[in-house]
A and B are shown apart, each in its own frame.
Chain A
C-alpha cells in the first residue's frame, strides 16, 4: 500500500509540469503587451475604437456571417450608438417617421407605448455603457502601459465618456455612474440624480479643457468640441438640474464661435455629402467611409433608409440601396412654406411620387423623404455605394450660432446684434442672399425653435430642443402621429425621459425605473 502511494506521488509529480499547460495562450486575440509590441499605432488604434464606438457595430465585416458585435443584441448594425441615438432624438419628434415598424420602432415613431422591453431603449443604453466601459478600460490600460501622449489620450477618452454621459443624461435622466475606479467587470450601483450626472459631465469637461488641443486630427476631439458639449449642457441646464445657466451657455457658444478656426460653409448641402470631410464648419464628426468605416448605423442609416427606388433615382444620391424607411413630416416641411417656391435652400425634400400629408406613416409614399444627407459628392462625381462616405456632423458651427441667439434671448447676456448677425448668417447662406434675413423684432424664442428645425433637422437634436422649449410632451404642440394619431395627440409628461430597458433593470437591481414607467 505504501509503495502504491509512493507511485501515485511519483506519477503526480512527474505530471505536475504539465499543469502549466492549463495556462493557455491566445494566438489571435492579443494581450495589451503583445498588442503594443506588435503595432506601433496600437494605442491610437484603441483610441480609434473609442471614437468608433459611436458608429461601429463590432469587429467583423458589417452584415457578414461573423459580425462579432460589440454588444449582444439582435442585428448588430441596428444596435449602433449613432443610429440608436438618432432614433431616440428624431423619430420621436415632428421631424421624421419610419415605416418599418419592426420590433419596437413604431412606439418611437408614434411616441406611444414605451415599455422597458422595447429593444431600442436597450440598444442605446447598452451601447452607451459599452462606450463608457471601453473608455474606463483604456484609461486604466494607457496608464499601465506608459504610452507616449498618454495625457492627451486619456483626456480624449474622458471627452468620449463625458459625451456619452451627456446623451445618457439627456435621454434617461439620472443614470448609474461608472468610471475607471469601478473597474471593467461591472458593479452594482444605484443611479445618481440627473443633476449629479450634470455635475460630473461638467467637471470632466472642465478638467480636460486645457489638455485637449485646439486643433486636432479631423475626427478627434478638439477644444471647440469640449466647449460645444459644455454649451449644450448649460443651455439645457434647467431641464437637467432645475436651474437655468444661460449665461454659461452663451459664454461657451461664443467660445466655440470665436476661439476656434471653424467657419460656415458656403453651401449648406455640402455639409452633408460624401466629401464633407472638407467642410469648414464641422466641429466634431462621426466618420463614414465606404471602404474603411463601414456601418449600418452611421450616415449609411440616414442616407439609405431615406431612399426608395420606386420613387427616387437613388443612384443620383450616390447610393446603391434604398431601404424605404424614413420620411419627414409636414410639421417639418411646412416650416419652409410652399416647397415649390421657397427660397430656403435647406428645404431638401423629395416630393415627386410622394404625398404631402402623412395619412399613414407606414406607406412609403406618404410624406417627403429628405435628401439632406447623401452619399453623392459636392465636388466632382462619386460612385454609388452601399456604405456611405458621409461624415455625420455631430456638432457644427451653425448650432453654436443658434445656441448663442437662444441663450441671449433667454437672458444669458451677449448682444442682440451679435445674435441677429449669427442667425442671419445662416439665413443668408440658406437663401443665397439677404431676402430671408430677419430683424431683431422677429428674433424670438418661437422663431429659434423653428429655425433650429430648419437648420438642424435630421442631425439628432430635435427631441432635446422640443423638451427644452416645453413642446415635446403634453398637447401644446402636436405633430403627425404624435400619440399614434395621424393629426397628433398629447403624450404624457413622463415621456420627457425614456424608460430604462428591462435588461438593465434585470442586471442591476439597484437601478430604479423612471417615474411613470412599469418595471
Chain B
C-alpha cells in the first residue's frame, strides 16, 4: 500500500515532466532462474492507459516520458516498478513470486488469485493437507475445509467418502459435490469395483484442491454444481532442472475398539446365572473354548505405499511430469485387500511461437480388490464365544467349527470361515485422459481459445465364488449334503465411457482507468456418461445353485451447456463477476430440459482504500457478496436414466405368467414423469477474507442462506400413478450457515515456525414445503425385519430426521418397554407423539497445528462434530438377555451385549416389540472429537550429495475419539450403527527422497 501511495506522489511530482516530450523505449524481459525471455509480460505506464506486452522473445517497445513509472507485471511473478529516466533500453529480470503463485485458485474455465476471488472459494495446497496413511484424496482434506463434511463408510481400504459441502440441499437428488480433475468433470458414479471415486487420483500427484462453495463460484458449472465443486489439480512439469521424488511408506493398521459383547468367561457366567437350562449349549462336548470372534475376524494389517515421480523440461522446452505408484492396502478385516497401481503423465509442450499450449494429462489406475463377505462382522457379534474357531475333530468344513442341527442344517456361520471361504475379486482398470489446446490469438493476444477434451474409460470385472467345503455353500436337501462351490456364485462385468468436451474463448486484458481488468469467458460444454454391464447372479433352489437370468443394463446421461462469464476489476478494488449458464439434461423431456443459471458477485478490496492503506495491521481485507442459481438433475440413483419416458421392462423368466399351457414373458409399464425438470438452488453468500498483522492472522468468515425449490424428491404418488413412489418436483428446502476459517502464524523464522489453523461451520437445512405432503418415510432400517424404518422426511424438520417416540423411564432410570411420552396429551400413544431428531450435526469443526523447528516437523489435525445423532441398533437387537437363548429349538445360543454385572442383566430381558424399537432410548448424541492424524518428520538436506534431500516421518492416524456414544463409532453417515467395519488406527513410517 505504501509503495502505491509513494508512487502516486512520485507521479504527481514528476507530472510536469511529461510535458517534456515522448520517447520510444524498448527492452527485454527475462526470467530470473532460467534467463529465458518471458513473453506476455504486461508493461504499463502507471496512471495511464498506455501499455503493451512483451512478445515471444520477451521484447517490448513503449512510448514513455521522462519520469514515467513503468510497471512490469506477470502472473506468478513479482511485479516491478521502474522510473524512466531517459534510458534507451530497459531490460528487466523478473523473479517468481512464490507466495503469489501458490495462491492461484482454479475456479472453473479459468483461474484467479486468492485475493481477486469473488466467491466462497477455498484453496488447499499440499502442505495444508492431512498427513499419514492417506490412500485417497478425500482423506487429505477431511476436517481441513470449513463446511465440508466427509464421513467415510467405514474402515474399508476404499471406503466411499460421502462428501457433503454445506450439508447438501437435495432430498432424492445426488448430494455429492461435483469433482473436477484437471478440468474434467467426473461422473457421479464410480466404476464397479471402485467404491471411492477419489481412488482415481494418487494423492502424491495432487498439487492442490480448490473447493467452490457458494453459488456465485459454482454456477459456472451449472447443472452439477448445487452441492459445491471440488477441483483437483495435479502436479505438472517444471521448467527447471530435472527433479525426482521417491516416497515410500509402511502402514500398520490395528483395531482400535470393539463392540462390547461377552467374552467366553463372562458369557458362561451369564448363561449359567440366567439361563441354566442352556448351560449345556456352552462350549462343545463340555469343553469351554475362549474365542473372541471380533479378534478372529480382524487383524493387524500391513500396507505399503511406493511412489516415484519425475519432473523435467524435455528438450528444454516441454515441461513433463510422470509418476508411478503402487499401494498395497490391507484392511484390518481379514482378507480385505486393495492393490492399486497408478501411473500419470503430464506434458505441456507449446507450439506456434508459444501461442498454442498443449497440455496432455493421462492417468491410469488399476485396482485389484479382495472384497470379503462383510456379513462376517455381524456374525462375529452373535457367535457363541465358548465355541472354537476350528473344529477339534476336523469336521466337514475344512477344519472350521460349525454348528449344525440334527438334520445337518447349519446354524449361524463361523465368522472366520465366512471371510476365508468366499472369494470376491473386484478388478477395475481406468484411464482418465485429457487434451487441452490453449491458443492465444496472434492478432489479439488477450484472446485465447481453449478446447479441453476428456475421456474417462474403465472396465471392471467382479468374480465371486466359494472355496471347497465352504459353509455358506452348504445345504442339506432331501437328506443329501451338497456343497455348491463348483461354479462362480456371482459375476459382473462393466464398461464405462465418459466423454467431455469444453470449448471456450477467454479474453483477459489489464487496463488503466476506472476498469482495470476485463476477464471474460464464453463457451460450450458437452458431457456424456455411458455405462453398460452385465451381471450373472445365481440362486439356490432345491439345494442346487444355478444361474439366474442375467441382468443387463445400459445407461446414458447427456449434459450440454452454454456458458459465459465476465469479471471486471474496477479501480483495482472493486471486483465484479457475472455468469450465466444454460444447461440441458437428457433426464428431462424436451420441453423441460433446459435450465438457466445466472450468478453475480461483488467483492471490495478494502485494503486498497485510502482509509486502510496506511494501516499497519491490515494486510488484506476483502468483503464479498455473491448470489447465484444452480441446478440439480441427477436423480439416476432413484429414477434411473429415462425417467420421463414411457417404457416397458421385461420380467425375468421366473416371473412369467401362464395362460393355458404357455408361459408368457411379462412386460411391466415403468413409472415415469414427463413433468420432471430442474431443481433449482438460490444461494446468497456474504463473506470477508482477511490477513492481519503481517499475515500472522488470516482467515475468512462466510454467511449464507440457500433456498432450493422444485425439489426433486422420491415421494408417495397419488392414485393413478404407475408406482406408489417416484421422483417429482415438490417443495422447498432452506439452509442457513456460517463458516469460519482461521490461520495463525505467530512465529515464522528460518529455524522455527508455528502455525495453527482451525475451522468451524454451522449448517442447518430444513424442509420447508413438500407440496401436498407433510412427511414421508425415507428409510432407515434397524435390522428389524423389513418394515421397521425410523427415518422420515417431514416439513419443518431437518433434511434427514429420526422419527421416534420419547421413552418413559422408571424411578431407577430404566426404560419401561412400550411406554412413551404422550407428547400431544390426547391420552393415546400414536404416531403423532413421535418426535423428529436430526441425523446430521449443526456444527462441524477441525483444527490443527504444524511446527517446524530446524529440520524437524510436526503436525496434528483434529476434527469432529457438535450435535447430530446416532441410533444404536446393536443395543436394540443384541442388548436384551433373551437374544442369547435358542428360539424354535434351534439348539444355538448367541452372544449379546455385555450388560451383565454378575447377577443381573442391565438391559431388557425380552426381545422388544417393533414399537419399542421406535424409541429414542436407542438414540445417542453423536458429538465427537477425533485426533485424525499426528505426524513427526525429520528432513536431511544435502544428504549424501548436494542435490539429495531426505525426509523421514512417522505418523498415526485415527489416534483417538472422544465421545459419549456407547457404541463403536459415532461418526456414521447414515446415523444407524449395526455391524460397522471398524475404522483402523494406522501407524505409518515413511521416507521421502528428493533428488
Contacts and interface: CB of A to CB of B under 8 A. Distances in A.
Interface of A: 4, 7-8, 11-12, 15, 18-19, 21-32, 35, 39, 41-42, 44-46, 48-49, 51-52, 56-66, 68, 70-75, 78, 101-104, 115-117, 119, 122, 126, 129-130, 132-134, 136-138, 141, 176, 178, 182-189, 217-220, 287, 289, 291-295, 308-310, 315, 320, 324, 364, 383-387, 502-504, 506-509, 511, 518
Interface in B475-489: 477-478
Interface in B711-725: 714-725
Interface string B645-664: 11111111111111110011
Contacts of A19: 560, 584
B584 A186 contact: no
Nearest to B889: A310
A181 B398 CA distance: 65
B947 interface: no
B652 A60 contact: yes
A110 B74 CA distance: 82
6 contacts: A21-B560, A48-B659, A102-B914, A115-B830, A133-B722, A294-B654
Contact of B655 (A12, A59, A186): A59
Interface in B788-846: 788-789, 828, 830-832
Contact of B666 (A30, A59, A387): A59
B773 interface: yes
A156 B137 CA distance: 59
Contacts of A119: 787
B557 A183 contact: no
Nearest to A38: B650
B720 A183 contact: yes
A134 B723 CA distance: 9
B966 interface: no
Nearest to A127: B724
A287 B665 contact: no
B749 interface: no
Contact of A384 (B478, B554, B558): B478
A127 to B, nearest CB: 9
Contact of B718 (A7, A58, A188, A324): A188
A385 B427 CA distance: 37
B447 A4 contact: yes
Contact of A32 (B535, B646, B888): B646
A446 B593 CA distance: 65
Interface residues of B, number: 97
B721 A133 contact: yes
A320 B477 contact: yes
A386 B477 CA distance: 11
Given A4-B505, A30-B648, A61-B537, 15 more contacts: A4-B507, A21-B586, A24-B556, A44-B664, A48-B656, A58-B668, A60-B551, A60-B652, A103-B786, A119-B787, A133-B720, A185-B675, A289-B658, A289-B663, A324-B888
Contact of B657 (A51, A71, A385, A387): A51
A66 B560 contact: no
Interface of B: 407, 447, 449, 477-478, 503, 505, 507, 522-524, 526, 528, 532, 535, 537, 539, 541-543, 548-549, 551-554, 556-558, 560, 562, 584-586, 590, 593, 641-642, 645-660, 663-670, 672-675, 714-725, 772-777, 784-789, 828, 830-832, 888-889, 914
Contacts of B557: 24
Given A4-B505, A29-B670, A320-B543, A61 B719 contact: no
B888 A61 contact: no
B668 A61 contact: no
A384 B544 CA distance: 13
B586 A22 contact: yes
Contact of A29 (B478, B539, B648, B830): B648
A503 B667 contact: no
B664 to A, nearest CB: 4
Which 6 pairs between the two chains have the least Cβ-Cβ distance? A103-B787, A74-B786, A186-B721, A507-B716, A178-B720, A48-B657
Given A61-B537, A503-B777, A185 B647 contact: no
B654 A61 contact: yes
Contacts of A309: 407
Given A31-B646, A68-B649, A508 B772 contact: yes
Nearest to B786: A74
B541 A385 contact: yes
User: Which of B523, B551, B664, B788 has most A Cβ within 10 Å?
Assistant: B664
B668 A70 contact: yes
A507 B718 contact: yes
Given A133-B721, A134-B722, A385 B659 contact: no
A66 B534 CA distance: 12
Given A21-B558, A28-B554, A103-B787, A71 B724 contact: yes
Nearest to A31: B647
Contacts of B548: 61, 64
B787 A104 contact: yes
B426 to A, nearest CB: 15
Given A129-B724, A220-B659, A289-B658, A26 B541 contact: no
B720 A129 contact: yes
A28 B774 contact: no
B667 A7 contact: no
B660 A383 contact: no
Given A45-B664, A49-B666, A188-B718, A287 B658 contact: yes
Contacts of A7: 449, 505
A34 to B, nearest CB: 9
A295 B655 contact: yes
Nearest to A182: B720
A130 B772 contact: no
Contact of A188 (B714, B772, B774, B832): B772
A188 B407 CA distance: 56
B723 A26 contact: no
A59 B718 contact: no
User: Which of B539, B649, B777 has most A Cβ within 10 Å?
Assistant: B649
A492 to B, nearest CB: 14
Contacts of B407: 309
Contacts of B669: 46, 133-134, 137-138, 141, 184
B832 to A, nearest CB: 7
Contacts of A70: 668, 723
Given A119-B787, A176-B719, A52 B560 contact: no
Contact of A218 (B447, B505, B646, B659): B659
B642 A506 contact: no
Nearest to A43: B667
Given A49-B657, A49-B666, A75 B649 contact: no
A293 B325 CA distance: 52
Contacts of A509: 772-773
Contacts of B585: 22
A219 to B, nearest CB: 5
Contacts of B645: 26, 31
A7 B659 CA distance: 64
Nearest to B554: A27
User: Which of B535, B647, B718, B772 has most A Cβ within 10 Å?
Assistant: B718
Contacts of A506: 715-716, 772-776
B723 A130 contact: yes
A28 B552 contact: yes
A236 to B, nearest CB: 23
Contacts of B674: 185
A57 B654 CA distance: 11
Nearest to B787: A103
B659 A44 contact: yes
Contact of A52 (B554, B649, B657): B657
B654 A507 contact: no
A61 B659 contact: no
Contacts of A104: 787, 914
Contact of A189 (B553, B554, B660, B719): B719
B991 to A, nearest CB: 45
User: Which of A23, A49, A122, A136 has most B Cβ within 10 Å?
Assistant: A49
